Amino acid sequence: MIGLVLVSHSRLIADGLCQLADQMAGGGVKIAPAGGLTDDPYTLGTDAALILEAIESVWSEDGVLLLVDMGSAVMSAEMALEFLPDEQRNRCLISNAPLVEGAIVAALHAGMGNRLHDVNAAAEDALNARKVERVPENVKDKTCG
Amino acid sequence: MAQEITLGQLRRWLILYADRIIAEEEQLTRLDAAIGDADHGVNMRRGLEKVRERLLDEETQYADVGAFFRSIAMTLISAVGGAAGPLYGTFFLRAATSPHNGERVDLPQFTRMLRFGLDGLQQRGKAHINDKTMVDTIQPAVEAMEAALASGQSLAVALAAAKQAARLGMEHTIEIRANKGRASYLGDRSIGHQDPGATSAYFLFETAVVALSTPVPKE
């Protein structure tokens, strides 16, 4: 099973999202948070060393998918990957998926035993999921009026 | 005058740099509030306070110049938090991989370290000259060092040239538009403001002149 690492500027978001994604996937997914800074957990920021630890905690030969929020989260994640030996780095991937929706979808697909690139593709597709069906304004006017 | 930089001088450099950043926190915050998210001052202060603490600890020992820069890098990537963390972290981490003479570096080696750092920084941040970033300070400074080295100047002259080029680069960021980071969302409205990253990077070259071209008393 691939591992998942959730990188956020906020420790609360990363930790909470791990709980949410794991529960949505029915438990048992290898998922680790990397939010905030090592010594100042509730200061907003990202920490390459913390991300590296998270990768190692969920590492297997199947690889690790990293989901990130924005800005320096990407740079810190890239830096964490550079600390890994080549053979490990080549089995890690930083996803373009939205963090929250992507993490939930990724957890579901990882739990099904899907491969790294397939899990990532599903997570990235979460961008296209619609939450509500909007009735176009002109149609609504006619219905109500 | 010595043409080599010792570990003691490098240590003094980063302590002076930390002092400067801590003293300039408000200015960095003000600059970042104008075009960014106002966190550069507090992030840099937090990171450099950690660096300073480690450097002032008598028990901290460094095997060589590479280990020294690696230690600075690791502290910054874990304590800064914002984009400056991985950027300065990469700068020092790449510098650490450049050749040195154990506990000393000569001018050609030091210049190459800065070049390595700059290249790493540019790969990490994908910024070029005139993007209104710290690259606008560091690139001219490194080029000035390289030019001074090529024309056979002394360490002190090379460091002074780097500082001068860094200052001009930093000031030039006032006139240009941001192409990177949060400031880039402002488009032309970023013109007229000095870049906070270019400013914190200038202090590196400013403090290097005193710290690296005069001997450390007790060494």
What are the start-end ranges of the E strands in chain B? 4-6, 104-106
Q: What is the DSSP letter of B23?
A: H
Residue A86 vs residues A65, A69, A82, A132: alpha-carbon distances, Å: 16, 25, 8, 43
Which H or E run contains B189? none
Structural domain count of chain A: 1
In chain A, what residues touch B82 (CB-CB under 8 Å)? 45, 71-72
Q: Tell which residue, B91, B79, B189, has the closest CA to residue B137.
A: B91
Which two tokens mark A115?
Answer: 């491969």
Q: Give the A window 54-113 contacts with B, CB below 8 Å.
A: 71-72, 75-76, 78-79
pLDDT of A36 over the 60 cut: yes
Domains in chain B, start-ordered, CATH in brackets? 4-213 (1.25.40.340)
Quote the pLDDT of residue A123.
Answer: 98
Give me the amino acid identity at A96. N
Q: Are residues B81 and A71, on separate chains, in Cβ contact within 8 Å?
A: no
Which two structure tokens, joined as six digits, stand for B105? Answer: 């570096």
Contacts of B90 in chain A (CB under 8 A): 79
Report long-range pairs for B114-123 (Cβ below 8 Å, ≥24 apart). B114/B138, B114/B141, B114/B142, B114/B145, B115/B142, B115/B146, B117/B90, B117/B91, B117/B92, B118/B91, B118/B142, B119/B94, B120/B90, B120/B91, B120/B93, B120/B94, B120/B95, B121/B87, B121/B90, B121/B91, B121/B94, B123/B90
**Rounded to an integer, what distance in angstroms lies between the CA atom of residue B134 and that of residue A20?**
39
Which of A47, A71, A72 is nearest residue B78 as measured by Cβ atoms?
A47
Look up the CATH number of the domain holding residue A117.
3.40.50.510
Whether residue A145 has pLDDT greater than 50:
no
Q: Mind listing the pLDDT tens digit for each residue in A41-79?
A: 888 999 999 999 999 999 999 999 999 998 899 999 999
Q: Which three-class secondary structure state does DSSP give residue A38?
A: coil
CA A2, CA A65: separation in Å to the nearest integer?
Answer: 7
CB-based contact B83 A40, cutoff 8 Å: no
What range defines the domain where residue A72 resides?
3-144
**d(Cα B212, Cα B6) in Å, to the nearest integer?**
8
- In chain B, residues with a C-beta closer than 8 Å to the C-beta of A76 are 77, 85-86
* Spatial CB neighbours of A6, under 8 Å, sequence gap ≥ 6: A14, A17, A18, A21, A31, A32, A33, A34, A35, A67, A99, A103
Contact A33, A26 (CB under 8 A): no
Looking at residue A129, its pLDDT comes to 87
From first to last of the 219 residues of chain B, give the pLDDT tens digit. 468 999 999 999 999 999 999 999 999 999 999 999 899 999 999 999 999 999 999 888 999 999 999 999 999 999 999 999 999 999 999 999 999 899 999 999 999 999 999 999 999 999 999 999 999 999 999 999 999 999 999 999 999 999 999 999 999 999 999 998 888 889 999 999 999 999 999 999 999 999 999 988 876
| C-alpha of A23 from chain center | 15
Q: Is residue A138's pLDDT more than 80?
A: no
Supply B209's token pair.
């002149």
Is A8 in the B-facing interface, judged by CB distances under 8 Å? no
Confidence of residue A143 (pLDDT cuts 50, 70, 90): low
B68-78 b/e (C-beta count within 10 Å ≥ 16 → b): bbbbbbbbbbb
CA nearest to A71, candidates B52, B37, B198: B37
**Whole-angstrom distance, CA of residue B12 vs CA of residue B7:** 9
Q: How confident is the model at residue A26 (pLDDT cuts 50, 70, 90)?
A: very high
Q: What is the pLDDT of residue A71?
A: 86
